[in-house]
Amino acid sequence: MIRPLDRVPSIKVKLGLAVVLSLSVTLVGAVVGIKSGLRPRYTLPLGLLLSLLIVQLLARGMTSPLREMADAATAMSAGDYGRRVTATSRDEVGELAVAFNRMADDLAAVDAQRRRLVADVSHELRTPLTALQGLLENLADGVSTPDPETLESAVAQTRRLARLVTQLLDLSRLEAGQLPLHREPLQLSEFVDVVLREAESSAAQSDVTLSTSVPARLGADADPERLHQVLVNLLDNAIRHAPPGGRVAVTAEPTAQGIRLSVTDDGPGIPAAERERVFERFARTDAARASSNGGSGLGLSITRWLVELHGGSVHVADTAQGCTVVVDLPRSAP
């Protein structure tokens, strides 16, 4: 489409040019008509018609991005996020078109993320549900006997399902900003001991030894419930990836900026290229293994949210063997 005024940087100037041009065409047409011997009652309407045609041409070029935006918005409301607006003008309408295209890109990305999240959640929920359904059907049909081992397997799948639902709810609340912190002074040595005692059962089932090294008087200003969740997630991840007979260690030390917590296991480790991606939702370095040992791919994502909520940071350290996840917390509330 012809847009003769695209290089004009202001819609006000464009409108002024359109008015001046239409008046000029009307006057020129009237003068030429009179000099050609035509009566004014013919020349004036002819000049007005020419000016209207010119204004229509200019206005169509100025408003075409608005019409494109209206059509694209209608398409987006129907779920089509692939429409874009031609943004060639330099005025306010052109700026609006650029902003509209940026918004369309964001909406397309969000829609793709939503679809991926729904697919991931469906897959994660289906895995324990299918296993649990199979166990219960075998018990109901008499194929399996309700012995302690079978019942424990059913309970394990139920716990996995409940953990996944809880993590999804936590993630939803975190993203919505509905998870406030309730900070209080904590003695880290006692706090870490409590968390490790809770993890002993899981570690014993995996034949993993837990250890801790935290200075006796080292304290932190944090939300105990949320910091507990951080350590539980990190310990669960470390225990699942440590080999039978392996070790998982929790250490803490003061730093110039605050406190550093580290959870180390002697498992296969995480490749350098994957160390940032593991904090994304449902991201795994070994999907088959994580699925088989109960990993949901949400624990580290929630951990990062909670740590950053405290004003800290979390990353996978560069180690020669195993894996070390480091949490840096500020000394006091930011």
What does the pLDDT profile of the chain (334 residues) look like in tens digits?
556 655 666 666 666 767 777 777 667 766 676 677 666 666 667 767 777 777 777 666 667 777 788 888 888 888 888 888 876 776 777 778 888 888 888 888 878 877 776 776 776 677 678 878 888 888 888 877 788 877 777 787 787 778 777 777 777 777 677 677 888 999 999 999 999 998 888 888 889 999 999 998 898 899 998 899 899 889 988 998 899 999 999 999 999 888 999 999 998 888 888 888 888 766 655 543 344 444 556 778 888 888 998 999 999 998 888 999 999 998 765 5
Distance linking the first and last C-alpha atoms of the chain: 54
Q: What is the pLDDT of residue 252?
A: 94
Looking at residue 146, its amino acid is P
Cα–Cα distance for residue pair 263/189, rounded to 1 Å? 14
Main-chain phi, psi angles of 201, to 5 degrees? -65, -45
Tokens of 114: 């939503």
| Cβ atoms of 222 and 259 closer than 8 Å | no
Q: Could you tell me if 90 and 62 are in contact, meaning their C-beta atoms sit under 8 angstroms apart?
A: no
Digit-coded pLDDT (tens) for 99-145: 888 888 888 887 887 777 677 677 667 767 887 888 888 888 887 77
The candidate with the shortest Cα–Cα distance to 101, out of 115, 88, 112, is 88
How open is the CA angle 195-302-293, to the nearest 5 degrees?
A: 70
Question: Given this model, what pLDDT does residue 94 score?
Answer: 75
The percent of residues above 90 in pLDDT, for the chain, comes to: 19
The secondary element (H helix, E strand) that includes residue 123 is: helix 92-141
Give me the DSSP letters along 22-85.
HHHHHHHHHHHHHHTT--HHHHHHHHHHHHHHHHHHHHHHHHHHHHHHHHHHHHHHTT------
The tokens describing 156, both together, are 């394990």
pLDDT at 251: 95
Ordered domains of the chain (ranges, CATH): 11-105 (no CATH), 108-175 (1.10.287.130), 184-330 (3.30.565.10)
